[in-house]
Structure 1
Amino acid sequence: FFFDFVITCFNMKFLQCANLSYLNSMLDNVLARDCILSAKLEAYSCKAIKTDKRLSHQIERRLAEERQFELAASPDIKPMGSPMDITSLTLDSSLGHSPSFGKDPSFNSSPLEMSLLGMHNGVNGKGNQVQTYTFLVLCLNHCYNHEFDFSCIPREDIRQDESLTSVRSCINSMLNKFSAASMILPHLEDEFWSAVNDVVVTAECEFYSYIPEEGEDPIQELEESTLWSKHYFFYNKKLKKMLLFRCWAQSINASRGE
């Protein structure tokens, strides 16, 4: 049982951006009142090439197997090729959940899984969502230097938001913490959004966030003192670029060896 389309194989190339490098240096280990804040911006080009076939086929097979299971478990989900409204689908709670860990209630997002359920040519034009999912996985793999394998992360861990306004609000709330902690960052918001826009043109982007289940956060795996973390993606299909913003907080006591 496989999807009735062929996945293109992808690879990601890290993009050197002076403005992002400058911001990264300013947002590294900033001492706040009750924690140590850090953030990092990374940009990648998304190009379809004849490499990384193993990951692409692995994702294709996993999504196909999951859909087969969901079709068998839920009579409300119609077989492939049948007319359906993907956005109206809901999964039984036994099939998975949307973790609340790190979720900002003001971030109006929906699981990417809703569109992945009907992901094949001819169903609401959602065939390209598997490409997006693959790019998001590759981006995570690259930003963590392949220390983790994200190819099997639950679909509901990746959420999509169609509103730049809500994304800006969530990120600005974090940037305000940096500005409050350091007098050398008075115009951080303006510099941040100017740098991001120069790379990916936010008005043309799709927005995603990675919200891992509690205990599955890669930053917490690397730094046990991590209190919370956020992952936001800006994906410009036209420019074939993806930008990842990571932000996290660590315990002050941990830095003191307590």
Structure 2
Amino acid sequence: MKLLENSGFEAINSLLTIETGDCKIIGRIESYSCKMAGDDKQMFKQFCQEGQPHVLEALSPPQSSGISPNKLSQSLDDGEGPLSDKCSRKTLFYLIATLNESFRPDYDFSRTKGHDFSKEPSVNWVFNAVNSSLSAAAGEVYSHLQPQLWEALDKEISLAECDIYSYNPDLDSDPYGEEGNLWSFNYFFYNKRLKRIVFFTCRSVSLFMAPRDSGIGTELDLELDEGSYEEEEEGNMDEERFDRQMTANKSCGSSVFASGGPTAKSNIAV
């Protein structure tokens, strides 16, 4: 998988980091070519040892109400469990390779299985799901960005021609599974004709529960540290002033009682 340059996506990505007061939205959109070269070919060869490229893999149903009761019942009757869609192992490889490329070098998705993915019902459903999440979190900021975002997506991948998949892992396999993560989504827009995948990933992180390694809340930590440092500086200065004052008092007291005892006595009399 090769990351394709896209100036439109770069501009949008710079706007997909949004602070809303109590949370921070962090998103990015990336375009990848499905043409395999070098390491991809070797990885695909190893991947095919578990099954041929044309073999279909069962996927999990979308995490929504988009699956009808009839379809779910039929799936259960067929002995497949609540698995509503399938994709070829070659397509599954493209999805896994996209994750590896997007999150490298921090994560390895080579053990990811078909049940970690879902095929979404339609472009309109994903459109509404994304807009609902981002509008609720970012309000007017996202409303201004929304037309530009979807126009850039359509220009790059031709949405009407796409199959759309999502990655919905368990907590142990989730790159966004750390404490403080409020929600996340990972969508793959796959255009078979163009041999291209656009990956749209986004998450919302609480500013009050952000983990240390996330980089979120660093400014607050720095402000607190600076405040502590200033208090310590002020405390040290107060101690120095106190020491100087005591020294001065001792010096003054010695000269008064040594040379001016009667003066002190007459003051008391007055």
TM-score, length basis structure 2:
0.64
Question: How many Å separate the matches in 2 of 1:170 and 1:176?
Answer: 10
Q: Which amino acid aligns with 2:86?
A: S
* Cα shift at 1:154: 2.4
Single out whichever of 149-158 and 232-241 deviates more from structure 2: 149-158
Say which SS state the counterpart of residue 238 (structure 1) adopts: coil
- 2:103 is the alignment partner of 1:148: no
Aligned partners of 2:23 and 2:207 also within 8 Å: yes
1:59 pairs with 47, 65, 75, which one? 47
Question: How many Å separate the matches in 2 of 1:40 and 1:22?
Answer: 10
Aligned partners of 1:32 and 1:177 also within 8 Å: no
Say which SS state the counterpart of residue 39 (structure 1) adopts: strand
Say which SS state the counterpart of residue 193 (structure 2) adopts: coil
Question: How many Å separate the matches in 1 of 2:181 and 2:138?
Answer: 20
Deviations 1:90-130 (A, max 9, x none): xxxxxxx959xxx74245599889535xxxxxxxxxxxx12
1:41 pairs with 29, 36, 41, which one? 29
* Cα shift at 1:32: 1.9
What's 1:27 paired with?
A: 16
Relative to structure 1, the CA distance from residue 112 to residue 58 in structure 2 (aligned partners, 3 Å threshold; closer, same or farther) is farther
Aligned partners of 1:106 and 1:170 also within 8 Å: no
* Cα shift at 1:237: 0.7
What's 2:123 paired with?
A: 164
- 2:166 is the alignment partner of 1:209: yes
* Cα shift at 1:238: 0.5
Q: Structure 1 regions of 5+ residues with no counterpart?
A: 1-11, 65-79, 81-85, 90-96, 117-128
Single out whichever of 33-42 and 232-241 deviates more from structure 2: 33-42
> What is the root-mean-square deviation in Å for CA atoms of aligned residues?
3.1
Aligned partners of 2:187 and 2:200 also within 8 Å: yes
Question: How many Å separate the matches in 2 of 1:133 and 1:113?
Answer: 15
Question: How many Å separate the matches in 2 of 1:146 and 1:138?
Answer: 13
TM-score, length basis structure 1:
0.67
Say which SS state the counterpart of residue 203 (structure 2) adopts: strand
Say which SS state the counterpart of residue 47 (structure 2) adopts: helix
Question: How many Å separate the matches in 1 of 2:205 and 2:45?
Answer: 37
Deviations 1:57-81 (A, max 9, x none): 33223357xxxxxxxxxxxxxxx9x
- 2:214 is the alignment partner of 1:243: no
Q: Which amino acid aligns with 2:176?
A: I
Question: How many Å separate the matches in 1 of 2:60 and 2:120?
Answer: 15
Q: Which amino acid aligns with 2:183?
A: W
Aligned partners of 1:27 and 1:178 also within 8 Å: no
Say which SS state the counterpart of residue 151 (structure 2) adopts: helix
Relative to structure 1, the CA distance from residue 108 to residue 33 in structure 2 (aligned partners, 3 Å threshold; closer, same or farther) is farther
2:2 pairs with 13, 19, 25, which one? 13
Q: Which has the larger radius of gyration?
A: 2
Aligned partners of 1:158 and 1:210 also within 8 Å: yes
Question: How many Å separate the matches in 2 of 1:107 and 1:32?
Answer: 30
Relative to structure 1, the CA distance from residue 44 to residue 247 in structure 2 (aligned partners, 3 Å threshold; closer, same or farther) is same
Q: Structure 2 regions of 5+ residues with no counterpart?
A: 73-81, 211-216, 225-270
- 2:218 is the alignment partner of 1:229: no
Q: Which amino acid aligns with 2:175?
A: P
Aligned partners of 2:13 and 2:27 also within 8 Å: yes
**Misfit runs of 4+, over 4 Å:** 106-114
Identity %: 33
Q: Which amino acid aligns with 2:7?
A: A
